[in-house]
Amino acid sequence: MLDEQLKGWNNGNIEQFMEGYVKDSSVRFITDKRVKTSWQEITDSYKKNYPNKDAMGKLSFHRDEVRWVNEIAHIAQVIGRWEVIQKHKAEKSPSGSMIQNGKPMVNKFVEPNAPSFDTLSGRFSLIFVGTPNGPKIQIDHTW
């Protein structure tokens, strides 16, 4: 299921990515900022923060541990790391010098407007539950 999420994300398809989540009121998405309590709220947040394929970048997961919480009830936990690599374009300041992330670029060998990349990363703990449509994320704690 995580591989299907990666395909959706890396194709710029948030709806396909969101197929990995339970679509009922039990779903939770927990970050250091807040708790989202519905599938639609999670989806809307992703669409707002990642409005297009370029903003979404390339996502990868690194699974550190997969374990059964309750095998009979089909509840499992996946602990791992995520990484998003996004294209970042250098811009010219009003004075004409090259800037990137608000700072003057010091590498004189970088071509103007040449793409560079920003890497976002963090950790996750996912609780999966078995559903008639396969395993789905019920609780996503991402930081």
| pLDDT of the chain, 143 residues: tens digit per residue | 999 999 999 999 999 999 999 999 999 999 999 999 999 999 999 999 999 999 999 999 999 999 999 999 999 999 999 999 998 755 555 555 555 556 555 555 555 566 688 999 999 999 999 999 999 999 999 99
The pair of three-digit structure tokens given for residue 89, joined into one six-digit string:
């374009």
User: What are the residue boundaries of the structural domains of the chain, listed by start?
Assistant: 2-83+122-142
CATH class, range 2-83+122-142: alpha beta
Rounded-to-10 torsion of CA 10, 122, 33, 116: -60
Residue 91 confidence (pLDDT): 57
